Amino acid sequence: MGNVCCCFSEPVDFEGEVNLYHFDLHRAVGKGAFGKVRVVEHKRTKKLYALKYIDKSRCIKQKAVANIIQERRLLEEIDHPFIVNLRYAFQDDENCFFVLDLMLGGDLRFHLERKGQIQEDVVRFWMAELSSALEYLHQQRIIHRDIKPDNILLDAMGHAHLTDFNVAVHYSERRLHHSVAGSMAYMAPEVVSRKGYSWSVDWWSLGVTAYELLFHKRPFDGRTAELMRNSILSDPIKFPESASSKCSDTGISFVKSLLDRNVSSRLGCRSNGRGMEDIRRHPWFSSIEWDALENKDSQPAFVPDDGIKMKQANFDVSHELDEFLMVEKPLTHTKRKANADLDKLRPELRQLEEQFTVYDFSRSKRLSYYPHNQPIAVGTDSEGSDPTVGHSTTNTLIPTATIAERSLAGTPVLDSIARGHSISMSRPMPQPPPPIHVSGS
């Protein structure tokens, strides 16, 4: 047996497969549809991480098993300075666990609501970092599909990181996606119109995010899904009267260039352009030293409060109260049942056992599941059905709620042909640089 330590009267075998006993559990810092996020500390390395844990029973009830497996596989492919990267994955009898890079600086929604407006130089720095992350994802043939302030986290130094790959999918170079996925206020016109889309939708969403951070409002609005859709498809891009006092002409130009309804002329996507190089050369980024930025050698323009010391928490501290008040069952270290018979498990649990595999970044090489990763649905009934849009009790649209429906694009081309799907595009789609093979961490 390898190095062991004693905790909960159980020896911990650090040479064996990673499990929850390898970590000390600290405070809860977030809550999602199926579980929570809490800070954990690896007992041997003493490094802090974020533990995202997903209740299997809730996951099965909401028909999201395939989605959780898809997210797990996509995260294994990704390793980038401006993405919240997966470090470990494992499960016990009740939960599936993602151990991710810890971001103590809070999400951009939190900071936007607290500050009311973000300074232009701060937004510019974040947009440069996120552009680098998007370039990387698109090289991996991945569309995030849900870029918004809520899904951008800051580390303790103030660097921006893209998170939440819940509706991310691989894209196919031969077929477009037609499913509605993401958060409606940030969806590109080609998504809400169902005319077919690819990786270029992420650049539009980044443009909406930049607009919101700069002006504390979104460029498109609507109290119902239909009004929101019409706004995205046809409303002129207007800027507040005070825009010039909050943002330079080059900053407004950058946002306008991303919010171009014509995909072939959208910044970063131009059919006769240079992709990410057009982003880097935009006048708004003239002060950015890209090599230093991508090595995290550049000093962020905004440093969040000291989340480590918790003087002023950069997240909602109420998440811990559910366990404290016994509203929910607290997370505990539990041993797995020995020698479970997979044939006797219900199909969804068996699928999780077989496909939510163990991952340990210190031992495993990052592998690509493309093209075997099948895009999947989140809580939808059938192909072609309308998405379920989240509404509040006042029946107004929740523009930041993530929605998704079944998508068939991005499946292997031979599979598509075998099923008789036609392969067509309304216009030639510009291609990002060829995919980069991800080396081990």
Q: Which residues are catalytic?
A: 146
Task: Compute the distance between CA of residue 319 and CA of residue 307 in angstroms, rounded to an integer.
Answer: 16
User: Which residue positions form the known binding site for ATP?
Assistant: 52
- The candidate with the shortest Cα–Cα distance to 306, out of 106, 30, 49, 29, is 106
H or E element that contains 130: helix 120-139
Q: What 3-state DSSP class applies to 394?
A: coil
Work out the number of other CB atoms within 10 angstroms of the CB of residue 85.
18
Task: Compute the distance between CA of residue 253 and CA of residue 269 in angstroms, rounded to an integer.
Answer: 16
H or E element that contains 189: helix 189-192
- The candidate with the shortest Cα–Cα distance to 60, out of 50, 68, 70, 49, is 68
Tokens of 420: 């008789």
Maximum separation of any 2 CA atoms in the chain, in Å: 68
Q: Tell me the chain's radius of gyration from C-alpha atoms.
A: 22
* Beta bridge partner(s), residue 157: none
Residue 83 is classified by DSSP as: B
- The candidate with the shortest Cα–Cα distance to 135, out of 199, 73, 184, 179, is 199
Tokens of 381: 């009934």
Query: Do 148 and 209 touch, CB atoms closer than 8 A?
Result: yes
- The candidate with the shortest Cα–Cα distance to 276, out of 147, 129, 409, is 129
